[in-house]
Structure 1
């Protein structure tokens, strides 16, 4: 029987598309705990001439002191997903007294890079601008994301010193700097990803990595690390067949090289969605360490 061999780039594209489609299904709004509330569809800025929105998830009974906050950035290969994708994570954070914000950003079918990072940074500036209104501490904002969201989270964490990535979405008088970063299964160095014809990367950059070397470097978090880069928790499965674990290792190595605070958790046998009780515990401990005030830790 004749067996047809599928070209490598097609098989990779199918794997990525399947992962993105699975994530969209998983992004159906979860049943949320009764002790928290969701404030939906808050406009945080403008991107490409349209409104950008986020969901806020917070305890119904607010604590006395302003809360730390975590911004969740959804995945989906920069081609899919939406702000509903972070409600599960944000609800767990809200139960621990941390405000969660699940944001949208322009997908690559609508706009090419750097639109995506501009929108993410705009959301952080918005939250800092509205800190008093939302009862949050502007000095304790972290970011977390998976896959494409892991990439954008890492780029948020490494690019506070790059005005060319801030965009013009709003709130320019406020900083997009964050206190801590959790990047899960995210690309970190596009030139070394391995398959330069990767459809999702080509869609993000508007061309091959070799055709857009400067843009690919600008989009790579490893390019921008400094000693002052905030603490990172990098989570990656060693069996990830979409974004190889070498990307997580590269991000960790770049941070360590400049003396920045970085923790790498490689999940043995973990795929592109390396979630487990171990990763949940690591995330909770990481955010408790870097977001809680000294008074709250007593």
Structure 2
């Protein structure tokens, strides 16, 4: 059944295709903290509710902000390991930031995707916030999502980030508007979307295509957003990027919309990938800046 969902929906196939030492002191000796990695940190009871945490050296509550990576996979597949490739680049470009690479509970017939996957982001952010003293971080966040992970990132920022802790979002080929004819004209769409939605979590009569479309949730509180799309994407139409671009313009949100030659991120040029990385670096340095890094 999960395979049928992926085949018919054809939304978000991810293109970006041990335990570790722990120092839990609060730097009481005023010694600079060393770089630390904590793998498979549990943030819930489900085996998928785990994240990897990369803490930089010399971190502190005054300066160390957090970059969160959210993988794709059509909401029913994928794993945080799919985002591992970007971590060395982020460490190089942002050596004073912490990095979280998170899993979330994948959808199946017993566990719908929405809003559960949005709430998993909230659980991660809440846990890290609660542990800010131990971790020596400042709980402000950038979300970088790919495909389904970009959709989750956009929805969390637009609807669930009540404390305004998210300061920017990088949306890489994320579905944004399920009222788009690309989806809505599929005769199986309503059934397939309902299979991804926990109907008990929404009021009776909710139009789910509207409720889980980030483009229809944009407001003046939406975070600065980067948009990256392919002009020949068979899974997420360019019109989804166009519609989000218009909504962000109308709301007066700082953003940048990039369209690359190719499909779902899997055959873009090296120059395009470099441009994507450079834009993310610029936005992190602008909206998640480290104050007094030395």
With structure 1 as the length reference, what TM-score do the two structures score? 0.75
In structure 2, stretches of 5+ residues that fail to align are 18-33, 200-204
| Paired residues of 1:158 and 1:226 also in contact (CA < 8 A) | yes
Q: 1:133 corresponds to which residue?
A: 134
Structure 1: any 5+ residue segments left out of the alignment? 1-9, 27-34, 163-174
Equivalences, count: 258
Residues 66, 100 of structure 2: 8 Å contact kept: yes
1:217 aligns with 2:210: yes
Q: Give the TM-score taking structure 2 as reference length.
A: 0.76
Deviation at 1:244, TM superposition (A): 1.0
Contact 2:71 2:80 in 1 (8 A): yes
Question: Matched residues in 2 for 1:92 and 1:180: separation?
Answer: 18
Q: Which has the higher contact order (CA 8 A, sep 6+)?
A: 2
Q: Shift of the alpha carbon at 1:250?
A: 1.1
Matched, 1:73 2:61: no
Deviation string 1:25-51 (CA, Å, 9 cap, x unpaired) is: x3xxxxxxxx9653111112356xx67
Q: Tell me the equivalent position of 1:156.
A: 156
How far apart, CA to CA, are the structure 1 residues paired with 2:221 and 2:253?
7
2:175 matched residue in structure 1:
187
For residues 286 and 142 of structure 1, the distance between their equivalents in structure 2, rounded to whole angstroms, comes to 9
Match of 1:13 in 2: 7
| Deviation per residue, 1:107-140 (Å, 9 max, x gap) | 11151111111111211121111122222211x3
After the TM superposition, which segments of 4 or more aligned residues of structure 1 sit over 6 Å from their partners? none
**Contact (CA 8 Å) 1:180, 1:230: kept in 2 or not?**
yes
Cα separation, partners in 2 of 1:177 and 1:51, compared to 1, 3 Å: same
Q: Aligned pair 1:177/2:165, yes or no?
A: yes
Q: Is the 8 A contact 2:48 2:103 kept in 1?
A: no
More strand by share: 1
Alpha-carbon distance in 2 for matches of 1:227, 1:18? 27
d(CA) in 1 for partners of 2:290, 2:225 = 18
Structure 1 position 255 matched with structure 2 position 254: no
C-alpha distance in 1 between matches for 2:12 and 2:49: 26
Do the aligned residues in 1 keep the contact of 2:11 with 2:235 (CA within 8 Å)? no
Question: Quick check: 1:231–1:260 contact (8 Å CA) kept in 2?
Answer: yes
Residue 205 of structure 1 is matched in structure 2 by 197
